[in-house]
């Protein structure tokens, strides 16, 4: 698995949700990585895909407002991201450095929709 860094193997990974993207990124260059290229279990890949697909469910992008209960949804998303990050670390082993980047969409809004 390689990225835009030009290295033959990307070892510094970041778990981060983003609309329309896989949940894993190169921490060095920011390149979105293909989950299928990582030596993760099918179960964990599926959980990561589902987690990523739910990114932003706390926000109404069309109307630019936080949905009712959005703060709680984002907190739950981040908590699940932490759990998934630990599972990735366990499956990949110590050769990889894996960090989690939480969503902070609603922290910039004072009122929940």
| pLDDT 10s digits, 1-17 | 667 777 667 899 999 99
**pLDDT (0 to 100) of residue 107:** 65
CA 41 – CA 46 distance, rounded (Å): 9
Per residue in 71-101, pLDDT tens? 999 999 999 999 999 999 999 999 999 999 9
Nearest to 47 by CA among 19, 87, 20, 18: 87
Within 10 A of 86 (CB to CB), how many other CB atoms are there?
13
79 vs 61, higher pLDDT: 79
**pLDDT (0 to 100) of residue 2:** 63
**pLDDT (0 to 100) of residue 9:** 76
Per residue in 43-55, pLDDT tens? 999 999 999 999 9
Exposed/middle/buried for 34, CB within 10 Å: 0-12, 13-18, 19+?
exposed
CA 106 – CA 108 distance, rounded (Å): 5
Average pLDDT over residues 67-72: 93
CB 28 within 8 A of CB 5: yes
Phi, psi of 99 (to 5 degrees): -125, 160
**Lowest-pLDDT range, 4-13, 31-40, 63-72?**
4-13
Q: Strand 65-66 vs strand 59-60: parallel, antiparallel, or unpaired? A: antiparallel
């Amino acid at each position: 698995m390689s990225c835009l860094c030009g290295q033959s193997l990307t070892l510094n990974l970041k778990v981060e949700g983003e609309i329309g993207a896989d949940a894993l990124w190169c921490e060095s260059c920011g390149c979105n990585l293909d989950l299928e290229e990582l030596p993760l279990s099918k179960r964990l890949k599926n959980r990561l895909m589902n987690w990523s697909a739910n990114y932003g469910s706390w926000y109404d992008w069309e109307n630019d407002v936080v949905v009712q209960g959005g703060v709680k949804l984002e907190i739950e998303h981040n908590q699940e991201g932490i759990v998934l990050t630990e599972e990735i670390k366990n499956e990949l082993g110590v050769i990889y450095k894996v960090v989690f980047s939480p969503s902070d969409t609603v922290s910039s809004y004072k009122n929940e929709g």
